[in-house]
Structure 1
């Protein structure tokens, strides 16, 4: 156990060294940043609806706080929206949330999986189709459920679109591979054409077989380099509808080259989620305005007969592809229906993306304030001082009460501190976690959580040794079986409370809950991998096994009673 803990500490330390993540990131109150206030503008000066304000808050929050733990805050203040972002300047915040991203409908020109794979595992040019009915290669990843898009019931000709789910199959030396399609079209699945890479393709070329004919060279180069990470430029920003675009799917499993926008999101008249009365499945209804209806009918008619993947029509929001269905027939009439393996939350989310691809309101920047970290720095010093005093008091109490055994408590706190610091530093580097005063309060409180765990164990162990019933080595094992259940139950209750508080609260309270949950998990690791094994090692030493007065396990310290000699008086005769 001690070896496993050492490996864990060294692994986290090595990761910090490789990533140069030696210091944690700080939140708005400790590092400063910018607070931006956006005021809505409506026609005729009408009061905006709460629904539109809530939707705008959700869209902006996704842009500025995608990980959920970066300490950025987006909230309503009356009819305004207040945005606070740590470590950012006013212009940076304005560029991030000031643009109103729109939904675009673009034809797909090329598609490839994100994870580099063998050339045979990449989508290939439709110019070399494999024989119809060829079996997919073994080991192929299971495709995501597809969906169908078709015109809403009306007198117009039927049209249908089958969504694409691109997978990254396991490379096979001689097997062909292509994006797998699944979904419903007249009650049966429709696979995409399969193909094999050209024999002349270089085996180490990850783009072999991808047709980039007609693609702008600069966009093609960007497409080849696109890794679809959160740091990629172009994600979450407004794209130019008059230029081709290299973009990623919303789940970061595929990347696309997209043509100029055929239909803009401003032409979407509305979108709603509902249940199909005949099949009982969740669907999304999309309605276009007059101009958008004609544009949508035109583009679906043009790409219907195009080869795969150029018969796909991508829906792009904030520079990210949220759906890319295959168009099988023109869809006139200005009404379309997207159906497939939806649940109520996923259908509602897609409807909101289509309906509110652009912010539902127009906002102007009414104020922007730079937040200083001077006050936060003073509070940080105060918080660290309070934490240091609390830690010192716990150490003094442990040494006075448990004497030599208290060294185990001190060492446990030291190990917990090391793990906590490493976790905070790595989360800051990889998940944009920012340490605020609320987090520091949670970390200070965790000192008591860790101390409580070893106190439970120590008292169980001492109870087993009282009155000389067990030796120290036996008491260590017996007490651990009983104490670990209590420790796990206590930590489970604390962790559940932290999770509930984190998801129900916002701002500083959520930060406190996150820190408390993190340190609760670290406490379990320390108790199981360090405290118990370390006590078992100490039990082998004569200093502790024989109950030295300074060990904390002597008879006087544990309240043993000296043997009582009983005498009886024999009455004398006479």
Structure 2
């Protein structure tokens, strides 16, 4: 007879210690990373940690009685979701309630005030040319800004962010005596910057004599008609330090001039007389904050416009660049408030522009978020802001953990009664899976903003059954091999391929369900799907790198190989004759040739 082939069986069971060492090193490394980062606990969602809940109600604008519909509400939810994510807030919920309300839930541990300022800033975004600007209120900035030179650089300013780096723009067709506005920050961290200029690609020329058409003012020439007189009178009386007057300002039709307020620094206001809307915020396709290499340590905001916005922006910037200050400024109006009013250094072509000045990174990112996510299809008012207490979520979590502990205890009891010694392998595998899950969840909090909420805890509890099922599949395959008359060590190796296929198919179905659920749902249900998918992947890792190698090692021990009645491999219970361990017969003293 030919000698039995040893290659496959011997290779699969020869070095199980390597797999165990590998998973042990992974656990130690992940745990070390968890303690090194200082995040030793998973980040909690709003239902477990508490937070802020904001209710926004859509209102009808004049001339648009049917604007509040499902399409516009869904678009508003999507934009608010992106706006919150732009702030780095994770596990925030943005969802509709009824036909007119949107609920925004922001978990504790994030900058809820900043999120409220930006999420609650729900009016549309517009670019309007500046006709007049001056300080307003008791703590106003000087009416006449410091003078700048012909290159467009600004002198130091008493404002918050304008005293370090002056903007260096391209030459403007203005007189050297023309004042240049200075950079400053608003109360919401949105900078009011020095210059609006073309992105380096392409670089338009702002020098030379402007055309006659370029000299035309972008705003109507003041006339003696009553509407203009009323607007001038309202501008003269406007006190932006008064909240009531500030709330009433900034409103008007897109094709008409308006008066508005802007906060140059904390509690330091300016009032503006603005021309008709030049460019709509919906025509911005992208805005991002990048490091300004020409201004050491400074940042700038780069904007891209769509085709229609590019044409409008070229027309307006061509007109503005030929005007003296402050008529060469572009006001960015959001929620009826001027959030930035940069100068225009020259005609801007190609649909690309940058806002540069004395930006910090935070100011540049906040302004880019406003430009990217500021244009909503509807106008909203803030109906209520409430603080969510974690007590109710804590009670539900306590009840859920009790239910999970009862279920885990029943699983362990079943394993002990039915599998006896093999149950300790299953319990050790469950502990390894739990350790990996906890450590990875703790690391995912600061890494991707993952937050553990009640549905996520539910997903982790459901995973206990999925993991235990994998062990049971493998143990039953081993017992089937023993029933067919094989000893334990060959049975462990022969059972593995069939058990492996079953485990992979089962886990693939679970992971696919989790992936589909994650894609088609929003909010807390995504937490359940994410946790279920994560624990399913960890089940595969634990079974391949811990359960199977550990069972291979245990099969070499007499307790299991000899079929001890507490091993879970008792011959009587399996219906086979002992011993399970086959003894080697002595070779004949004088073998005969066949």
- The TM-score, its normalising length taken from structure 1, stands at 0.59
How far, CA to CA, are the matches of 1:215 and 1:99 in structure 2? 30
How far, CA to CA, are the matches of 2:381 and 2:89 in structure 1? 27
Alignment correspondent of 2:191: 240
How far, CA to CA, are the matches of 1:527 and 1:380 in structure 2? 29
Instruction: Give the match's secondary structure for 2:538.
Output: helix
Alignment correspondent of 2:93: 73
**Relative to 1, partners in 2 of residues 1:537 and 1:512: Cα closer, same or farther, differing over 3 Å?**
same
- Which of 63, 69, 72 is equivalent to 1:52? 72
- Which of 481, 494, 517 is equivalent to 2:533? 517
5+ long unaligned stretches in structure 1: 106-211, 224-233, 246-259, 274-282, 303-314, 319-326, 339-352, 564-574
Instruction: Give the match's secondary structure for 2:74.
Output: helix
CA contact 1:442–1:515 (8 Å) conserved in 2:
yes
Deviation at 1:102, TM superposition (A): 4.6
- Which of 482, 495, 502 is equivalent to 1:465? 482
Alignment correspondent of 2:210: none
Instruction: Give the match's secondary structure for 1:70.
Output: coil
Alignment correspondent of 1:505: 521
**Relative to 1, partners in 2 of residues 1:549 and 1:49: Cα closer, same or farther, differing over 3 Å?**
same
Indicate yes or no: 2:94 matched with 1:94.
Answer: no
- 1:246-272 deviations in Å (ceiling 9; x for gaps): xxxxxxxxxxxxxx9xx9996138659
* Equivalent residue runs for 1:9-88 within 5 Å: 9-44=27-62, 46-50=65-69, 51-65=71-85, 70-77=90-97, 78-87=99-108
- Which of 559, 577, 581 is equivalent to 1:543? 559
How far, CA to CA, are the matches of 1:533 and 1:6 in structure 2? 12
- 1:65-121 deviations in Å (ceiling 9; x for gaps): 45999321101221221111111686454224123585889xxxxxxxxxxxxxxxx
How far, CA to CA, are the matches of 2:428 and 2:419 in structure 1? 13
How far, CA to CA, are the matches of 1:474 and 1:436 in structure 2? 45
Deviation at 1:63, TM superposition (A): 2.3
Indicate yes or no: 2:466 matched with 1:452.
Answer: no
Instruction: Give the match's secondary structure for 1:34.
Output: strand
How far, CA to CA, are the matches of 1:467 and 1:415 in structure 2? 32
CA contact 1:102–1:266 (8 Å) conserved in 2:
no
Q: How well do the aligned residues superpose, as a CA RMSD in angstroms?
A: 4.4
Matched residue pairs, number? 388
Instruction: Give the match's secondary structure for 2:420.
Output: helix
- 1:291-322 deviations in Å (ceiling 9; x for gaps): 745323458999xxxxxxxxxxxx9x99xxxx
- Which of 382, 385, 396 is equivalent to 2:413? 396
**Relative to 1, partners in 2 of residues 1:215 and 1:434: Cα closer, same or farther, differing over 3 Å?**
farther
Instruction: Give the match's secondary structure for 1:532.
Output: helix
How far, CA to CA, are the matches of 1:502 and 1:554 in structure 2? 45
CA contact 2:83–2:373 (8 Å) conserved in 1:
no
Deviation at 1:419, TM superposition (A): 0.6
**Relative to 1, partners in 2 of residues 1:440 and 1:331: Cα closer, same or farther, differing over 3 Å?**
closer
**Relative to 1, partners in 2 of residues 1:354 and 1:242: Cα closer, same or farther, differing over 3 Å?**
closer
Instruction: Give the match's secondary structure for 1:35.
Output: strand
Deviation at 1:39, TM superposition (A): 1.7
**Relative to 1, partners in 2 of residues 1:69 and 1:296: Cα closer, same or farther, differing over 3 Å?**
closer
Deviates more, 1:23-32 or 1:488-497: 23-32
- 1:504-558 deviations in Å (ceiling 9; x for gaps): 1123322211111111011111101100010011011111111111111120122
How far, CA to CA, are the matches of 1:451 and 1:215 in structure 2? 69
**Relative to 1, partners in 2 of residues 1:487 and 1:213: Cα closer, same or farther, differing over 3 Å?**
farther
CA contact 1:498–1:513 (8 Å) conserved in 2:
yes
Instruction: Give the match's secondary structure for 1:81.
Output: strand
How far, CA to CA, are the matches of 2:451 and 2:276 in structure 1? 37
CA contact 2:281–2:375 (8 Å) conserved in 1:
no
- 1:473-532 deviations in Å (ceiling 9; x for gaps): 111111111111111111011101100011111233222111111110111111011000
CA contact 1:34–1:89 (8 Å) conserved in 2:
no
Larger Rg: 2
**Relative to 1, partners in 2 of residues 1:12 and 1:83: Cα closer, same or farther, differing over 3 Å?**
same
Alignment correspondent of 1:296: 317
Deviates more, 1:369-378 or 1:79-88: 79-88
Instruction: Give the match's secondary structure for 1:482.
Output: helix
**Relative to 1, partners in 2 of residues 1:414 and 1:37: Cα closer, same or farther, differing over 3 Å?**
same
- The TM-score, its normalising length taken from structure 2, stands at 0.57
How far, CA to CA, are the matches of 1:490 and 1:403 in structure 2? 25
- Which of 373, 380, 387 is equivalent to 1:363? 380
How far, CA to CA, are the matches of 1:488 and 1:60 in structure 2? 39
CA contact 2:278–2:316 (8 Å) conserved in 1:
no
Alignment correspondent of 2:23: 5
5+ long unaligned stretches in structure 2: 1-18, 129-150, 167-184, 197-263, 265-274, 286-303, 324-331, 336-344, 354-369, 580-594
CA contact 2:318–2:347 (8 Å) conserved in 1:
no
Indicate yes or no: 2:530 matched with 1:491.
Answer: no
* Equivalent residue runs for 1:198-347 within 5 Å: 214=153, 239-243=190-194, 267-268=279-280, 271=283, 285-288=306-309, 292-297=313-318, 331=349
**Relative to 1, partners in 2 of residues 1:532 and 1:216: Cα closer, same or farther, differing over 3 Å?**
farther
CA contact 2:318–2:346 (8 Å) conserved in 1:
no
